[in-house]
Amino acid sequence: MAVARAYLDHASTSPLRAAAYAAMRPYLESSFGDPGRLHAEGRATRTALETAREQVASFFGARPREVVFTSSGTEAVNTAVAGALARAGSRTGSGDGHVVTTAVEHSCVRDAVKRGTTDVTVVGVDRFGRFDARAVVEAVRDDTTLVSVQLANHEVGTAQPVAEVCSALRDRRALVHVDACAAAGHMGVDFTALGADLCSVTAHKLGGPLGAGALLVRRGLRVPPLLVGGAQERARRGGIENVPAWVGFGAACAVVDLAGETASQRALVERASAVVDRVDGVERFGDRSLPNVLCVGVRGVEAEPILLALDQHGVAVHSGSACSSETLEPSPVLEAMGVDAERSLRISVGWSSTTADVERFVDVFPGIVERLRGLRAV
């Protein structure tokens, strides 16, 4: 009989919640109408879509009309960055503008900014991966178009002083975009309270379906759409709506028990962090703000053989960030922090994680590290 695996990579993606699956099924099996049509089939899917919009808006402290559904958090980020730059260009006649961002942003932010403009100021971070809000604000110039900062770091779990940035820039010309994809479902995200102009969120890290995200756009703000060719999403995103995925996103948001789940996740991560004291040469990175993430560095052993050995023992973890690891390059986040960027493991829990999952990791990790170090010594 196969032993159940211990899945500890929720920061990459989480299993689909039962409530989300149940909500999606009718729109995969029988309710297929185009929500932009006036017939009964179209009206039915339109009603479901707007209910999902209300659920997502409620969970993230936004108004329903501020929610623009996307195919992912990555699309939401690209829409925010490209839209802010295009909006500024349409006013000034230029094709780009100055952007302020930080050294620990997700690759989708870094790449979207790089593609949009060459005039970028990158603000550094401390050893915990935290940027200084004052340094971000001081980097803003009169011609700054966009400030893009994360709410919490996706690799080491450090929460960022985003509210301070938003407050300081409220009366400035630059738009403020917050990447809240890593934080969504694991710490409170209140779009209205943050005071940001734009905010990117995603479904699959909180138990919603893959292929669903949203860009929250401050009421009254118009940014040019990334995808054109249709008037869907109130002319803010062209293309027929992915009703099943977006309904699943809304249903997942509606059942998240944020207080209960984050308390459980924090306890599980603290249990997993026992390996820091149990195994010599293991260091914890980050400031412990995000309750579901534990990032550790392991001295003297490459991350990949540890990851593969854990997998053989039925434990799934990750090394590096969710999108940069496939390139086999050192983590830009850890490099910016000034720590070893090539020997890190990220252990992350989520809504379905159990004590047994974490206990298996804690049980097998020390022996794996000892064996691999022994092989290097031969």
Catalytic residues, by residue number, are 323
In sequence order, the 6+-apart residues with CB closer than 8 A to the CB of 207 are: 14, 15, 16, 17, 20, 185, 252, 256, 350, 351, 352
Buried b (16+ CB within 10 A) or exposed e, 74-87: bbbbbbbbbbbbbb
Instruction: Tell me how far apart the alpha carbons of residues 321 and 305 are, in angstroms, rounded to a whole number.
Output: 17
Residue where the block lists tokens 């707007």 = 50
Widest pairwise Cα distance in the chain: 73
Residue where the block lists tokens 């860009």 = 215
Would strands 67-70 and 213-217 be described as parallel, antiparallel, or unpaired? antiparallel
> What's the chain's length in residues?
378
Q: Positive or negative CA dihedral for 69, 57, 18, 291?
A: positive
